[in-house]
Amino acid sequence: MNEKEKAKNGLLYDANYDAALMEERTWAKDLCHDYNHLRPSNMTERKALIEKLMGKTSKSFHIEQPFVCDYGYNIEIGENFYVNHNCVILDAAKVTFGDNVFIAPNCGFYTAGHPLDVEQRNQGLEYAYPITVGNNVWFGGNVVVLPGVTIGDNTVIGAGSVVNRDIPSGVIAAGNPCRVIRSITEEDKKKYWKE
């Protein structure tokens, strides 16, 4: 089993010194560099670069610059996907976003983690667990989502949260570590309307 296959299977793998993975990361980072240096108004070329980079895109998406990822091919986005500035996706494992996902500035989605054992860590070993985000999810600014997390549909993750466990559908969750605050209610539909 090669290092890429180990990563895909959730096993410890050599992320730092494996030539094939290093080459794939360099390819993705070159595309990210090109993307981040395009004029913001050059929407056609921006869209084409993201489609080349990511494993699956939708018809309707917008990713503000700068944007950085490790491989790109492990990222799948649904329809009406929006990412604000400074998003980082460490996609050593699959990162899947549903439809109508909105991500505020400075958010990170990190599938990669490192062993607690110093000898394994110093060998360049790491693990990668997938991140799955449902439909209609909004992330406030500066949210970090850690390896192996699933976030349900119709959920809001508050600004500054560190999401280290699964979050169910239909809730507001926030904090470090992120926890469910409450369910989203019918009253929330009226909250921002002025009479």
State in Å, rounded, how far the first CA of the chain is from the last one: 63
Mean pLDDT over each residue of the chain, to the nearest integer: 96
Residue 85 a catalytic site member? no
Identify the CATH assignment for 3-185 out of 3.40.50.300, 2.40.10.10, 2.160.10.10, 2.40.50.140: 2.160.10.10
Span 125-136, pLDDT tens digits? 999 999 999 999
Sheet containing 13-14: give its strands across. 13-14, 125-128, 112-113
Residue among 175, 67, 85 at smallest CA distance from 156: 175
Sign of CA dihedral 58, 157, 187, 185: positive
DSSP letters for 41-103: T-HHHHHHHHHHHSSB--SSEEEPSPEEES-STTEE--SSEEE-SSEEEE-SS-EEE-SS-EE
pLDDT at position 2 is 95
pLDDT at 66 over 70: yes
Global confidence as pTM: 0.95
Name the catalytic one among 33, 37, 85, 114.
114
User: Is residue 195 pLDDT above 70, yes or no?
Assistant: no
Q: Give the mean pLDDT of 46-75.
A: 97
Q: pLDDT by residue (tens digit) across 88-124?
A: 999 999 999 999 999 999 999 999 999 999 999 999 8
- Give the integer Cα–Cα distance in Å for 32 and 42: 15
Q: Region 153-171: what's the mean pLDDT?
A: 98
With H, G, I as helix, E, B as strand and everything else as coil, classify residue 116. coil
